[in-house]
């Protein structure tokens, strides 16, 4: 099932992997700042301090490099959801912490629009070519499936009602997150993301079996 790009990745030695990571990071940065064009592949090479032949060794072409950037970033997103602080992400308390860590993460990266978050990569790349869009889409499905499994566990424990649709709920949470990130970067402000993640968790709460959990929590008011 592994994509040829992924097989390449798995064959590497630890040192090779580190070199490859440097290239991918440099490319990620360029994609969100000025776009990755044939002409600035040279800048990726310099930023990663590798030779042209090394670059060609790791990535046969620019599209393979772009796909690697997208896969790396969805890995960051999935790891974010698996951080110990979030437990198994399968209780309302876990989801409240998910709101907190999201806002803390946004505060850390800032709203300059120059961080290669997943929504920023999607916005830059979704119209480039079919293979890249398919990689972005696969990333979204992985994210949706992670949340779907967590919500499924909440349903199994009857924290959520029987009519809760874990996959639909997962899509709502991911969509809210991506929309909130986009508006936060446009406004260069945190409030859109605060409203987005609050909406996502309050929507999940609408399916709580416990009436006390079902009540919507008020949105926090960061400066507007």
Applying CB under 8 A, the residues found at the interface with other proteins are: 32-33, 35, 112-114, 119-120, 122-124, 126-128, 133-134, 136-137, 139-141, 144, 161, 163, 165, 167-168, 171-172, 174-180, 182-183, 185-188, 191-192, 195-196, 198-199, 202-203, 206-207, 216, 218-219
- Nearest distance from C-beta of residue 26 to other proteins, angstroms: 16
- Nearest distance from C-beta of residue 23 to other proteins, angstroms: 21
The H or E element spanning position 23 is helix 14-33
| Residue 189 near residue 173 (C-beta atoms within 8 A) | no
CA distance 189 to 38: 33
Closest CB to other proteins among 32 and 50?
Answer: 32
- Nearest distance from C-beta of residue 180 to other proteins, angstroms: 5
Interior angle at CA 164, CA 161 and CA 165, nearest 5: 155
Q: Which two tokens stand for residue 39?
A: 């002409």
Task: Give me the residue label for tokens 């950037």.
Answer: 69
CA distance 1 to 50: 31
Closest CB to other proteins among 12 and 171?
Answer: 171
Closest CB to other proteins among 101 and 189?
Answer: 189
Closest CB to other proteins among 16 and 203?
Answer: 203
Region for residue 144 given its phi and psi (left: phi exceeds 0; alpha: psi -120 to 50; beta: otherwise):
alpha
- Nearest distance from C-beta of residue 57 to other proteins, angstroms: 28
Closest CB to other proteins among 72 and 119?
Answer: 119
CB proximity list for 60: less than 8 A, separation 6 or greater: none
Check residue 91 and report its DSSP letter: S
- Nearest distance from C-beta of residue 147 to other proteins, angstroms: 12
The H or E element spanning position 80 is helix 62-81
| Residue 50 near residue 77 (C-beta atoms within 8 A) | no
- Nearest distance from C-beta of residue 213 to other proteins, angstroms: 13
Closest CB to other proteins among 18 and 187?
Answer: 187
């Amino acid at each position: 099932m592994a994509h040829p790009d992924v097989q390449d990745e798995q064959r590497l030695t630890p040192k090779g992997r580190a070199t490859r990571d440097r290239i991918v990071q440099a490319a990620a940065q360029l994609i969100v700042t000025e776009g990755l064009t044939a002409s600035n592949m040279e800048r990726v090479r310099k930023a990663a301090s590798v030779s042209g032949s090394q670059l060609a060794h790791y990535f046969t072409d620019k599209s393979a490099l772009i796909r690697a950037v997208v896969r790396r970033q969805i890995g960051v997103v999935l790891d974010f959801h698996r951080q110990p602080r979030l437990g198994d992400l399968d209780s309302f308390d876990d989801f409240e912490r998910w709101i907190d860590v999201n806002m803390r993460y946004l505060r850390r990266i800032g709203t300059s629009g120059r961080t290669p978050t997943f929504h920023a990569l999607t916005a830059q790349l979704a119209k480039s070519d079919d293979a890249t869009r398919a990689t972005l889409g696969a990333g979204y499905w992985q994210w949706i499936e992670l949340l779907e499994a967590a919500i499924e566990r909440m349903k199994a424990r009857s924290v959520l009602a029987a009519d809760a649709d874990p996959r639909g709920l997962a899509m709502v949470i991911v969509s809210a997150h991506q929309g909130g990130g986009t508006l936060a970067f446009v406004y260069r402000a945190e409030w859109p993301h605060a409203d987005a993640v609050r909406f996502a968790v309050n929507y999940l709460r609408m399916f709580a079996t416990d009436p006390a959990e079902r009540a919507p929590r008020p949105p926090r008011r960061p400066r507007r």
